[in-house]
Amino acid sequence: MADPLSSLPGYLLRRASAATLAELNQRLMGEGVNHADASLMLVIHANPGITQSEAGRMLGIQRANMVPFVARLETRGWLQREQVDGRSQGLSLTGAGATAMAKWRTVIDAFEAELLERVPAELRCHVVPILRYLWNDR
């Protein structure tokens, strides 16, 4: 059965992305979160006081779609808002959020390490640079 797509970088990018994302979400499921929740928490942890619009720009998520996203994490008690000025709210992790995120981070770090190990050692140093070149979007 001929596969005319499996040598196309764009196609491989899409399939590899979908497969690895599903795998990460599988591992995070036990913690009751998905990759998006975890990545937002990582961004806020690295930038306490960041607004949801700023976090959304960093993650490639639109303002409007950040609203229910942030609200859900807030409801779970993992992050809190603090009014910065009349229109902006700074986000930060709660104590429970920081504790929970530390666990997610070990899952993510282990996953990312395994991902890299799938690539032969002599090519491994090229993975991140190549992906950055392919991601032209910034």
Partner DNA sequence: TATTGTTATACTCTATAACTATA
Partner DNA sequence: TATAGTTATAGAGTATAACAATA
Among 64, 87, 120, 121, binds its own copies (CB under 8 A): 120
128, HSE (Cβ side, Cα atoms, 13 Å): 5
The answer to whether 107 and 31 have CB atoms below 8 angstroms apart is yes
In the complex with DNA, the residue whose CB is nearer, 68 or 120, is 68
Question: Near its own copies by CB under 8 A, which window of 20-28, 65-73, 76-84, 91-99?
Answer: 20-28
**CA 104 to CA 31: how far, in whole Å?**
7
Q: Which of DNA, its own copies, none does residue 85 bind (CB under 5 to 8 Å by kind)?
A: DNA
62 binds DNA (CB under 7 A): yes
Asked if 51 interacts with DNA (CB under 7 A), we say yes
Distance (Å, whole) CA 75 – CA 71: 6
Q: Which amino acid is at 52?
A: Q
C-alpha separations of 119 from 102, 104, 113 in Å: 27, 24, 10
Q: Restricting to residues 98-137, which ones interact with DNA according to CB under 7 A?
A: none
Closest C-alpha among 133, 120, 114 to residue 26: 114
Q: Which residues bind DNA (CB under 7 A)?
A: 18, 22, 34, 36, 51-54, 60-67, 70-71, 85-89
Q: Which residues bind its own copies (CB under 8 A)?
A: 1-21, 23-24, 35, 39, 42-43, 45-47, 50, 54, 58-60, 108, 111-112, 115-116, 118-120, 123, 126-137
